[in-house]
Amino acid sequence: MKYFSLLRVLLVAAMMLAAPPLALAQPPSPPEGFVPVDQLPGQEELPATPLVAAAYGVAWAAVLIYLFSIWKRINTVEREMADIARRIEAGGRR
């Protein structure tokens, strides 16, 4: 049992010592060398305008839905408070 725990400790130590050199190793350079940007093949591009407009639309819709729900809840509370005020007035007259 003690042999296996010593083996684990040595294995972890070896991995920790090997990690930094492996992480700092540079990838091999491409075989064709440097290629200027204007000579690269065209890539598929997605225009940002529709995505930004959709994001703003979703954000504004969420804000408006939240404000509408607050407005509805405030109206409900106001109705309940008016009902309670009427009940208190009616009870105070007796």
* Residue 70 domain-assigned (yes or no): yes
Of 92, 66, 73, the C-alpha closest to 81 is 73
* Residue 65 domain-assigned (yes or no): yes
Of 64, 45, 61, the C-alpha closest to 53 is 61
Distance, CA of 37 to chain centre: 33
* Residue 57 domain-assigned (yes or no): yes
* Residue 3 domain-assigned (yes or no): no
The domain of 83 spans 48-94
* Residue 10 domain-assigned (yes or no): no
Q: Which pair of tokens denotes residue 20? A: 């930094």
pLDDT of the residue at 26:
67
pLDDT band, very low/low/confident/very high, at 94 (cuts 50, 70, 90): low
SS3 (DSSP) at 15: helix
* Residue 86 domain-assigned (yes or no): yes
* Residue 27 domain-assigned (yes or no): no
Cα distance between residue 78 and residue 80, in whole Å: 5
Mean local confidence (pLDDT), 15-20: 75
Residue with tokens 């839905």: 65
pLDDT, tens digit (0-9, with 9 covering 90-100), for 51-83: 999 999 999 999 999 999 999 999 999 999 999
Count up the domains in the chain and report the number.
1
pLDDT of the residue at 27:
66
